[in-house]
């Protein structure tokens, strides 16, 4: 697969990639933000996935190992376990509850050949491609391989993702791609870097925005609680974890 046709051409110039690499290296969070990431037609098709072509189900996630908000230095990294029933969730202590949201479970009925679903499948192939790995390496200096994990997810008022890091499992780079738009101040739901209970940075979930960051034990992040003005607004995004080439 080629970058052209997927990534907006504004991000492909050599001088732009070089500036991003310098910004990534100097950023305290080892991260960069790309606005207007995908070509317009690709972004529009993925919007259709979230609006109508995808089937989303309730997702309840708990910590199985140490909570990064409370663990001591050198503690084991956590991993997430999906709780599949309301009864099981009711038995999870509050401090072990990591996330409540909606996760893509498959195509909506009759949508297997609709642009939203087919572009979603092609998007995964693109993210695992050699061309995209080279693009990321140019901006970060970090090489990734074809193996990845991802979660297309919807969050609504009352949902949450609490502070955690993304280390472990061979992950080399992590990304959040915001598909849905319409965010306004007062909605909350920003991506936040946190440490010791303090919010260090907040990034708005604007449509077609990509956050790339290196998974570090020292850096935890969360989704800001929804604000009172969010009403029927939904946070629609992909979380993507790219593994190293040897994984």
Angle, nearest 10°, between helix axes 40-48 and 115-127?
120
Question: What backbone torsions phi and psi does residue 146 show, to the nearest 5 degrees?
Answer: -80, -15
Judge if pTM exceeds 0.85: yes
Residues present in the chain in total: 247
Higher pLDDT: 47 or 169? It is 47
| Per-residue pLDDT at 196 | 83
- Report, as an integer, the average pLDDT of 21-26: 98
- d(Cα 149, Cα 82) in Å, to the nearest integer? 15
- pLDDT band for position 75 (cuts 50, 70, 90): very low
- Report, as an integer, the average pLDDT of 103-108: 98
| Per-residue pLDDT at 66 | 53
The mean pLDDT of the chain is: 92
* DSSP code string of 10-64: GG-SHHHHHHHHHHHHH-TTSEEEEES-B-HHHHHHHHHIIIIIEEEEEEEEEES
- d(Cα 189, Cα 222) in Å, to the nearest integer? 9
- d(Cα 131, Cα 159) in Å, to the nearest integer? 35
Domains in the chain: ranges and CATH: 9-54+111-243 (2.60.120.620)
């Amino acid at each position: 697969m080629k970058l052209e046709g997927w990534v907006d051409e504004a991000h492909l110039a050599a001088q732009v990639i070089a500036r991003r690499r310098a910004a990534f290296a100097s950023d305290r969070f080892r991260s960069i933000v790309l606005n207007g990431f995908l070509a317009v037609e690709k972004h529009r098709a993925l919007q259709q996935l979230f609006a109508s072509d995808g089937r989303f189900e309730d997702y309840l996630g708990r910590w199985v190992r140490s909570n990064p908000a409370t663990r001591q230095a050198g503690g084991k990294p956590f991993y997430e376990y999906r709780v599949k029933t309301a009864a099981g969730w009711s038995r999870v202590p509050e401090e072990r509850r990591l996330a409540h949201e909606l996760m893509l479970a498959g195509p909506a009925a009759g949508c297997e050949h609709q642009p939203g679903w087919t572009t979603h499948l092609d998007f995964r192939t693109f993210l695992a491609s050699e061309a995209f790995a080279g693009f990321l390496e140019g901006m970060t200096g970090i090489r990734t391989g074809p193996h990845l994990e991802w979660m297309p997810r919807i969050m609504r008022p009352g949902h949450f993702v609490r502070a955690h890091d993304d280390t472990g499992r061979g992950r080399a780079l992590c990304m959040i791609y915001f598909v849905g738009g319409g965010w306004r101040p007062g909605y909350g739901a920003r991506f936040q870097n946190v440490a010791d209970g303090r919010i260090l940075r907040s990034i708005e979930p604007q449509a077609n925005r990509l956050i790339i960051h290196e998974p570090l034990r020292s850096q935890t992040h969360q989704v800001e609680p929804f604000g009172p003005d969010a009403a029927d607004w939904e946070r629609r995004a992909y979380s993507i974890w790219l593994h190293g080439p040897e994984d």
